[in-house]
Amino acid sequence: MERVQGPESRWAWVEVNLAALRRNTSAFRRLLGRGVEMMCVVKADAYGHGAVPCIKTMHAAGASQFAVATVREGVALREAGIEWPILILSEPPATCVQTLVEHDLMPAVYTSEFALALGEAAASAGRVARYHLAVDTGMTRIGVRRADAVELRRTIDFHRGLECAGTFTHFATADVPDDWDFALQLNRFRETVEALRGAGLDTGLVHCDNTPGTILHPECHFDMCRVGVGLYGLHPADTTHGCIDLEPVMSVRGRVVRVIYPNVGDGVGYGLTWRVPRRNIQVATVPIGYADGLARELSNQMDVLVGGVRCRQVGNICMDQFMFAVDVNGARSYRPTRPVEYGDVVTLIGADDDERITAEEMAGLRNTINYEVVCDFGMRLEKIYT
Ligand SMILES: *Cc1c(COP(=O)(O)O)cnc(C)c1O
């Protein structure tokens, strides 16, 4: 493996493997039928991977639309020159309708007040605003209640400034096989779509599948799938392993900025929560901390990789730095073949020789999911595209 040097100003970075992203995107594209569009979800700066380079790679691999969470995320993509359709996955405040029209961003819609404000803004700009109708089929998050969907459309459809470009719902349990609640949501969604069509209303593109839905439920790909976490090489749940080959796209690395042999009994970090137990133990410092997404609750719990060997992180993780211990003489888990040196590359997430630390491993230690781990590392670390 060619070693990335890292940014010149800080020995800490996120490596984004765009070739892996392209292969993952193609793998999903192959799951979808010919007429089915692929909408890539790039909210939270593409789950921490950096939205603009990811979008270009995804589009080259067959994606036709993109989705973000916030208006600001959408505007940033337009300003970066992304011209493909962009859906905002929730209904923003009505105060931003002009911004949406100006930047040709499609919001999710579920209230008539917002929809009519959007229509007005579009009409006065001499345009038609495209939106997607969000339907709550059982997740109790956003969307029009399914019993009210037809009425909402009838209330807003007169407006010449509005065009329904899509109708969608979101599943709460798409990762659970043979799940009753999933089946219930899907039935309710089908019924809602039929009711809208029965009332003579154009639904636009019908879509409901997220990553686990796309993998496990091809029967409801409808017109488009909204694929997120899987593109980044992460499985949304244990249930999708074995159904599709995915390669992790993100690695997180830094370099040793200081290493010493402290005295036996010396404490490490704020609160001195770890003390040097023996002679010949090195303590090394890496410039990555909780402001970079390395959760403080991992303190004294996680491993890092150096030269393909696991070493134990020690002391409380600081805002911008953490320390780890190296026992060259091979006590228990810390067993490098040589002492650690200034400038050595340290891997927090990713592969180093035959060892690998996954986002899932870190998520397990944090009591969370791989989604949150990669989003967090997107916060401040410089990204290097390989
Ligand atoms: C985040 C999100 C997705 C993508 O979910 P993944 O599990 O990452 O595929 C799809 N649809 C909506 C509405 C979302 O909020």
Q: Are residues 289 and 221 in the same domain?
A: no
Q: Is residue 248 within 8 Å of 232, Cβ to Cβ?
A: yes
Mean pLDDT value across residues 190-205: 98
Spot the catalytic one: 43, 47, 131, 290. 43
Among 31, 47, 89, 90, say which to mutate for ligand 1: greatest number of ligand atoms within 8 Å of CB: 89
Domain presence at residue 2: no
Q: Are residues 199 and 265 in the same domain?
A: no
Residue 327: the pLDDT is: 86
The closest of 85, 136, 138 to 111, measured between CA atoms, is: 136
Considering its fold, how many domains does the chain have in total? 2
Question: Residues 6 or more apart from 357 whose CB is under 8 A from it?
Answer: 303, 304, 305, 347, 348, 349, 350
CATH at residue 360: 2.40.37.10
Write out the residue range of the structural domain in which residue 307 sits.
Answer: 250-385
User: What proportion of the chain, given as a percentage, has pLDDT over 90?
Assistant: 95
- Residue 331 CA to ligand 1 center (angstroms) comes to 44
Strand duo 303-306 + 345-352: pairing: antiparallel
Strand duo 224-227 + 250-255: pairing: unpaired
Active site residue 261: no
- Give the ligand 1 atom nearest the CA of 226: 10
Give tens-digit pLDDT for 103-119. 999 999 999 999 999 99
Q: How confident is the model at residue 356 (pLDDT cuts 50, 70, 90)?
A: very high
Q: Is residue 378 within 8 Å of 53, Cβ to Cβ?
A: no
**3-state SS, residue 133:** strand
- Residue 41 CA to ligand 1 center (angstroms) comes to 6
Q: Are residues 222 and 259 in the same domain?
A: no
Task: State the pTM of this model.
Answer: 0.97
Domain final position from 179, 199, 232 = 232
How long is the chain? 386
Q: Is 152 a pocket residue for ligand 1 (Cβ < 6 Å)?
A: no
- Residue 330 CA to ligand 1 center (angstroms) comes to 45
Give tens-digit pLDDT for 217-276. 999 999 999 999 999 999 999 999 999 999 999 999 999 999 999 999 999 999 999 999
Active site residue 43: yes
Q: Is 65 a pocket residue for ligand 1 (Cβ < 6 Å)?
A: no
Domain final position from 232, 266, 300 = 232
130 is in an annotated binding site: no
Instruction: Look at phi and psi of residue 283 and say left if phi exceeds 0, alpha if psi is from -120 to 50, else beta.
Output: beta
